[in-house]
Amino acid sequence: MRLRFILSEIGIGLRRNLSMTVSVILVTFVSLTFVGAAALLQLQIGKMKDDWYDKVEVSVYLCPSNSPEPTCAGGEVTDEQRQAILDALAQPEVAPYIQEKFEESKEEAFERFQEQFGDQSWASVATVDDMNSSLRIKLTDPSKYQLVAEVVSGKQGVESVQDQRRLFDRLFLVLDRATLLAGGLALVMLIAAVLLITTTIRLSALSRRRETGIMRLVGASTLFIQLPFMLEGAIAATVGSLLAVGGLWLGVEYLITDWLGASVSWIPYVSTSDVLTVAPWLILAAILLAAISSLVTLSRYTKV
């Protein structure tokens, strides 16, 4: 009997404030979509770091014959300079961080250059003499790339040292800032959702002051009186969160997996299973949002 009464009160409240309820659903949907997108973006960054950082190499480009760098003043790298560089990398304080290293000759560099850019018109003027011979160093711990780079930087015969992680860090910095932007927009929308939920519950409670007054007179508890209003907000917020989960699932499935995954396959993307991992947290956030908003509204603005 009590359950039937509570359900009927919820139905009455939702019908009386239909436009506000729809607004709560839409604002919750948009705000939690931003929250979910920010979470998925962080998962995407984590996947890329795990995959790419394991492949980080330090590339030591040796002097060609015509380099303007001070370390190449003697012209092309000599065998003695090359050996000195290898000896530096074999030092006890550096060797444990090196998993493997291999040399790439100018001819091999030119061949790889042609494979990558041979279809470009400007690449046709390049010759073998324009290439650098190099050392490619794979690290056991990618976070120690700076230590290995410092050992060979500035040595005679070394034109430049490029650590790939520094390039990745710039990309991840951009992605992190995009996450912050999505999080900021989500925060603004969540505040809007809280205000709408509180307004909806307040209007619903004010429109039923007579009923709640009668319930109080016959001895109904505060929780029993407030429960329908709380459930109204929770239902609207939960529907919005489910729409957000559905939107994120469709976005990942069709935009990322089917479209981006088909065109750029070398990046490890988030999947729909990641959306399902985030989904319970979004639904829980919606319910908590509605519950807190309801308690604050009913205790501060409405006498029941």
**What mean pLDDT do residues 149-177 have?**
76
Cβ-based burial of 165 (10 A; exposed 0-12, middle 13-18, buried ≥19):
buried
Dist CA 279 CA 272 (whole Å): 10
- Rounded mean pLDDT of the chain? 75
The pLDDT value recorded for residue 123 is 64
At 2, is the secondary structure helix, strand, or coil?
helix
Mean pLDDT value across residues 128-145: 77
Which residue ranges make up each domain of the chain? 2-52+169-300, 55-164
Residues 242 and 29: their CA atoms lie apart, in Å, by 8
Given pLDDT bands bounded at 50, 70 and 90, which one contains residue 210?
Answer: low
**Angle at alpha carbon of residue 171, lines to 166 and 175, rounded to 5°:** 140
pLDDT digits (tens, 9 = 90+) for 66-94: 888 888 888 888 888 888 888 888 888 88
Q: pLDDT tens digit string along 227-278?
A: 666 677 778 788 888 999 999 999 988 888 888 777 767 677 888 888 999 8
Report the pLDDT value the prediction gives residue 7, as an integer from 0 to 100.
52
Structure tokens belonging to residue 68: 């303007």
Confidence of residue 279 (pLDDT cuts 50, 70, 90): very high
User: Measured in whole angstroms, how far is the alpha carbon of residue 54 from the centre of its chain?
Assistant: 19
pLDDT at 18: 64
What is the CB-side half-sphere exposure of residue 105 using CA atoms within 13 A?
A: 4
Statement: the pTM of the whole predicted model exceeds 0.85: no
pLDDT value at residue 302: 46
> Among 83-87, 113-117, 213-217, 228-232, which stretch is predicted with the lowest mean pLDDT?
213-217
55-164 is classed in which CATH architecture? 2-Layer Sandwich (3.30)
Lowest model confidence (mean pLDDT) among 32-36, 221-225, 284-288: 221-225
Residues 9 and 15: their CA atoms lie apart, in Å, by: 10
User: Could you give the 3-state DSSP secondary structure of residue 154?
Assistant: coil
* 133 exposure class (CB count in 10 Å sphere: 0-12, 13-18, 19+): buried
Q: How confident is the model at residue 1 (pLDDT cuts 50, 70, 90)?
A: very low
φ, ψ for residue 17, nearest 5 deg: -120, 45
Q: Is 19 exposed, middle or buried (0-12, 13-18, 19+ CB in 10 A)?
A: exposed
One-letter identity of residue 152: V
Short-list 134, 70, 135, 130, CA closest to 98: 135
The residue-averaged pLDDT of 3-10 equals 52
Cβ(248)–Cβ(39) below 8 Å: no
Contact yes or no for 237/24 (Cβ under 8 A): yes
| pLDDT surpasses 60 at 211 | no
CA distance 29 to 33: 6
Task: Quick: pLDDT tens for 12-22.
Answer: 555 666 666 77
176 or 26, which is more confident?
26
Euclidean distance between CA atoms 211 and 302, whole angstroms:
13
Closest-CA residue to 22 (of 32, 10, 14): 14
Query: Tens of pLDDT along 21-60?
Result: 777 788 888 888 888 888 888 888 777 776 666 666 788 8
Decide: helix, strand or coil at residue 218: coil
184-201 average pLDDT score: 74
* Cα angle 246, 249, 253; round to 5: 140
Closest CA to 133 of 73, 84, 61, 58: 61
Q: What is the pLDDT at residue 242?
A: 92
